[in-house]
Amino acid sequence: MTVCEYKPGLEGIPAAQSSISYVNGLEGILEYRGIPIQELATHSSFIEVAYLLIWGELPTQEELESFETEIRYHRRMKYQIGDMLKLFPNDGHPMDALQTSAAALGLFYARRALDDPAYIRQAVVRLLAKIPTMVAAFQMVRKGNYAIMPKDELDYATNFLYMLTEKIPTPYAAKVFDVCLTLHAEHTINASTFSALVTASTLTDPYAVVASAVGTLAGPLHGGANEEVLIMLEEIGSVENVRSYIETRIEKKEKIMGFGHRVYKVKDPRAIILQSMAEQLFSELGSDKYYDIALEVEKVVEEKLGAKGIYPNVDFYSGLVYRKLGIPDDLFTPIFAIARVAGWLAHWKEQLSVNRIFRPTQVYTGLHDMPYIPISERMAKADSNGH
């Protein structure tokens, strides 16, 4: 076996073969199963995209209708899960609540043979259907309210916003949210997807796969940059302050949140779509001074850092859009998870078809042949103050 060079973060090392999505960071291309993201954002829906990602091809009308119907009728959660959410601390992070409740689903739905297509289908339907209900329910119970039951007559995006805000959103707001889900549904082998693959490779149940991916997405280096963008825009406070704020941040070698990407060296195609949606949303629901500040930030950052390939990423405009839809800032990452469940499940299914348990190697940097020193002979260690 060839001994490979150790690469921190496995940068550039293929860890899987996949036909689910493709990214070309120099040309700003993102495709799901070969279909450009722009096409899907314009013509498709999140549920159709989930079907495409998981089953590999666009559904026929009949297939889509039966998939949507199944999801619609599995949105309710077990009352025990609702009771469990009530016991969580109100100030607990919604991502922690989601990770726990996603794992808890595994208690209710018996583990069955992973080569049974009916079991795979049921797990896909349940996870896509119930995760939004659990996110919305935690939001309600942490405010001291009863969780709002899903309404069967509402489509996926409309129903989620209804359960979250107690109001039926406008069709345009629901469409914008649905497109946001499509844009976040899949993005090759990022950290949470890799986590899902490793967990899947042990042949554990899909609820554990999704719970481990949610835990990975929760970290600030992965999900969550869109929250930071809003904090930054608030700190800037006005269009006039943008230039000096950005220049100071660049001088201090601080990152501008919502800019830059390991893969994209041009403007993230998802940011282009989100920006045009933000523009329409603000013209429909009222303008937002932070959107004007964001436009100026983009202009100044492009002028200063464009030559280094630093452009807006998907997180730059998504927080502004979510806030305008009435979504609290700490739900941005759980919403990312609602969308990414589709990608995680697609990778779970793909992993099962070629499974071999992940068991990489390591480069050992420790000692050898050390003596065991009896506790009575061990020297006291200096404390952290050096005493």
**Residues sharing a CB contact under 8 Å with residue 258, sequence separation 6 or more, in sequence order:** 225, 226, 228, 229, 232, 312, 313, 315, 316, 317, 319
Residue 234 CB, shortest distance to ligand ACO, in Å, is 16
Nearest-CB residue to ligand ACO?
260
- As beta bridge partners, residue 312 has 259
List residues binding ligand ACO (CB under 6 A).
222, 225, 255-262, 305, 308, 310, 313-315
How many Å apart are CA 161 and CA 53, to the nearest integer?
24
How many Å apart are CA 310 and CA 257, to the nearest integer?
11
**Residues sharing a CB contact under 8 Å with residue 385, sequence separation 6 or more, in sequence order:** none
Under 8 Å between Cβ of 134 and 77: yes
How many Å apart are CA 129 and CA 368, to the nearest integer?
52
DSSP state of 374: P
How many Å apart are CA 273 and CA 183, to the nearest integer?
9
How many Å apart are CA 92 and CA 276, to the nearest integer?
34
Buried b (16+ CB within 10 A) or exposed e, 287-301: ebebbebbbbbbebb
Residue 112 CB, shortest distance to ligand ACO, in Å, is 34
Q: How big is the CA angle at 197 (ends 192 and 203), to the nearest 5 degrees?
A: 135
- Rank residues 28 and 260 by Cβ distance to ligand ACO and give the closer one: 260
Decide: residue 259, CB within 10 A, 0-12 exposed, 13-18 middle, 19+ buried: buried
- Rank residues 30 and 173 by Cβ distance to ligand ACO and give the closer one: 30
Which three-class secondary structure state does DSSP give residue 78? coil
Closest CA to 40 of 25, 48, 186: 48
The kind and range of the H/E element at 22 are strand 21-24
Under 8 Å between Cβ of 305 and 259: yes
Catalytic positions: 261, 315
Under 8 Å between Cβ of 101 and 79: no
- Rank residues 98 and 257 by Cβ distance to ligand ACO and give the closer one: 257
